[in-house]
Structure 1
Amino acid sequence: MSAPPARGGPGAHSRLRLRLRRVGDVAVVVLALMMDLVAAGPEGIGGGQIAPILFVLATAAVYATLLLRWRHPIVIFCVQWCFTWTTMIEVWFQPFAALLIALHAVAARLSARWSVLALLATLVPFSLYSARTADVGGTVVPRAFAEVMVLWMLLATATWAVGRLSYVSARRSLRLHELQVAEAAAAVQAERMRLARELHDIVAHTVTIMMIQATGAKAVLEPGQPDVRKALEVIEDSGVQAMAELHRMLNLLRMPDGEDEPGALQPDLRDLQHLVGAAAQAGRDVSLEEVGTPGTLDPSVSGAAYRVVQEALTNAAKHGGPQAIVRVRLAWTESALEVSVTDRERGPKLSAEQAAALSSGHGLRGLRERVIMVGGALEAGPVDGGFRVRAILPRHGVRAGSLLASGQAG
C-alpha cells in the first residue's frame, strides 16, 4: 500500500507565494485608489463635468490596470501618466499614488534607460501640480513652487530607487542561479570523468585479456579444427568492435552535454550487413531481407535502426537459443522504414542464468527510448514459436507512431 502524497511540497509553497503576491497586488491598488480619492475630496472628485459616481468608477477601472504592471510595466506607466495629466487639467484630481506605483514597476523590471525616462516623465504632472499649489492670486510664487516640487521629486526619486534596488537584487539572484547551474554542470562532468576512468580500467582490461587469450589460443590451434578457429576469430572481431564502442562511449562521457563527438563514426545501416555477417559467421542462422526502394535517413535515425537490429539479435541469442532462426527485414515506404527482427526457436535454449548474464535488464526499454527520440515507434512481443521486435522510423522527419498503430507501414 503506497503512502499518501506529502503535503506542503515545493509546488504548494510556490502556489502559496503566488497567491499571496496576487492578494498583495490587489491590496496595493485598492489602497492607492482610496488614498488618491480621499486626498482629492469632494471638490476634486466632483469638480469636473463628469458625475462623481461615474468618475470614481472610471478611476477604479484605470487603477485596476496596475495589476498588469509586472507584465507590461512601460504600457501601464503610460496609461497612468496620461490619466494623471488629463484628470489634473479637467477635474483638479491628482492620482499620484498610482503613478508612483507604475514608476516603481518600471524601475524594478526594465533597464536603467527606461527607468530614468519614466522618472523624468513624472516631472510633467508634478510641475503642474506644484504650479497650482504655489498659485496665489493668479501668480505663481517661485519659492512655494520650488518647495512643493522638491518634495514631490524626493518622493518620486525614493520610489524609483526602491525599484532599482529590486532590479539589482533580481539580477544578482539570476547570476547566482546561473553560477549554481554551472557548478552543478561541472560536478556532473567530474562524475562523468570518474565513470569514464572506471569503465576504462575495468572493461577495457577485461576485453583486452579476452582478445589476447583468443589470439594465443588461435596460434596454438591444431590445423584440423576450422570451427574452433572461426569461433576464435569471431571473438577477436567482437573484442575489436567492443573496444571501439567503449572508446566512443568514453569520449561521450568526457564531453560536456550538448556537444557532439568530433569525428565520431556512429554505426548505422551501412554497417548492418557486417553485423548480420558476424552473427552468421558465429554459426547462427541469420538472414537479411530488404524490400522497397532504399533511401537516405538522418544519421540519428539510421543509428537507431542499427541498434534495433543489434538488440534484437542479442535477444534472439538469449531467448531463442544459439541455433534460433533469425530473419531481419527492412521495408522501405515513402514516409517510413520498418525494421523487424523475428526469431524462431530451434534447438536447446539458454538457461535462465545464461540469459540473465547476457542481459542488462534495460535493453528493450533503452531501445524504445532511443526510437522515440528520433520520432519513431517500437513494439516487441512473442509471436508463434518465437519473438519479434518491430520498429517504424521516419524517413523525412515525420513521426511514425501513428503508422505503427494503424499498420500502414511496410
Structure 2
Amino acid sequence: MNDTTGTLTDTLFLYDRSGRRYASTDRRWRGEDGSPLALSPVPGPAPDRIDTSERSLWRYQSAIPVSPRHRVSLGEGFTPMPPLDWDGRRVHFKLEWFNPTSSFKDRGVTVMISHLRGQGEARVLEDSSGNGGSSVAAYAAAAGMDAKIIVPAATSAAKILQARAYGARIELVAGTREEVSDEAIRQSEQTFYASHNWHPYFLQGTKTIAYEMWESLGFRAPDNVVLVAGAGSNVLGCDIGFGELLEGGRIDRLPRLLVGQPEHWAAIADTVNGIDPRSRGPRVPTIAEGASIAAPVRLPEAVEAIRRSGGAAVAVTEDRIHLAVRKLASRGLYAEPTSGVAAAALDHFLADGTIGPGETTVVVLTGAGLKSAEAMATVFDDGAPDGRSRT
C-alpha cells in the first residue's frame, strides 16, 4: 500500500501557509511564500495493520508515506515507556535516548532521509545545535549520502564529535542559533537543505511517538503528554499522530499537550500565554541547549497544536531545570538537561493541578545525559564532599 506508486502517496500533496499546493514529490523544503510546508493528512494505523514483527517505528509502515524500497533504518523507535513513581504519582517516561544516535531526532530523520533517498539526493545539508546534526550525519552515512552539518560554535563537543565520526563535514559558525540557520539557508542554494526544522517529512517520523504511546497503553491515548519544546517538532508530531488516530476513530479524544521551555527561550510558551517574549529582556544562555530556539520556524502551528489539545505551556527557570535533571537521575534516568525541561514542566503542572489524580501521563525524555557531559557536570558538581548532589 505504501509504495511510492501506490494509492497512499498518489493522493498526498504538500501545502504552505498560503494554501498553495505542491506535489508530494516536489523537491523543495519550503513554500513559494517562504513558509514551512506540511503534508496533507495520512490515514493513521489500524491495530491489525501494525507489523508486530518489526521492532522499530517502521512497524507503522502503513501510515508512513515513504516507499519500503527506499527505507533507511537503523532500528529507531519502539522505545521503552516505563511507569515510575513521581512524588506519589504513577507517570510514564518515554525514553527516547534508546534511539540509535541517543535522541528522538532519529524518528524524523529516518523518514526524511528515506524520502530524499527515493528522490535521488546524494548530498544533504543540515544546521543543528547538536542532536539533529548527529542524526542526519548517521542516516546520511547509512544511505550513502554526503552530509555537511553547520553547528553553533558553542555546541557540546560530544555532539560535534558524534556527527564527525559518521563522516559528516562540520562547519562551526559563531553567533546565535538563528545566525547558524541563516548560513545554512544561504548554502542551500548549492546543497539540498535537509533541515529537521523545515522539511515536512521529518514530522512524518516524529508522529510515530504518538502511535507508540497509543499501542503501549493498550490502544488508548494518555490523558496528558508532557514535552520540552525548542522548535516544537515533538509537539507537532504528537498533534499529527494523535490527530490521525482521532480521525480514524482509534481514540475518542486528543491527549493534552503540556509543554515546557527554558524561560529565556520560551517563544511557544509565551505565545500560548499571551506574553510578549521581548518582555523578558536580553536572552540568557540555557543549560538546555537543545531548546534554545528564539524563533521557531513553525511557531503558529505549534501554538495551535497545544491549544487544539486543550493543553498548556510554561516557561521554567534554570534552577528548576537543574533540579529536575537531578530528580530524574535519582530515579535512574540520566537525561540531558534539555529533557530536564520536560520534567520541570511535569512538576509545574502537577503542582498547579493541571494534571489531576488518576490521569495517565507520559513524559517524553528526548536525549541522553551522556551526550551533554559538560552540562551534566555543572548540574552535579556542586561541591558536595562525597561527590553527590545536595538536593
| TM range, smaller chain | under 0.3
Could you say which structure has the higher helix fraction?
A: 1
- Higher relative contact order (CA closer than 8 Å, sequence separation 6+): 2
Could you say which structure has the higher strand fraction?
A: 2
TM-score by length of 2: 0.23
| Bigger Rg, which one | 1
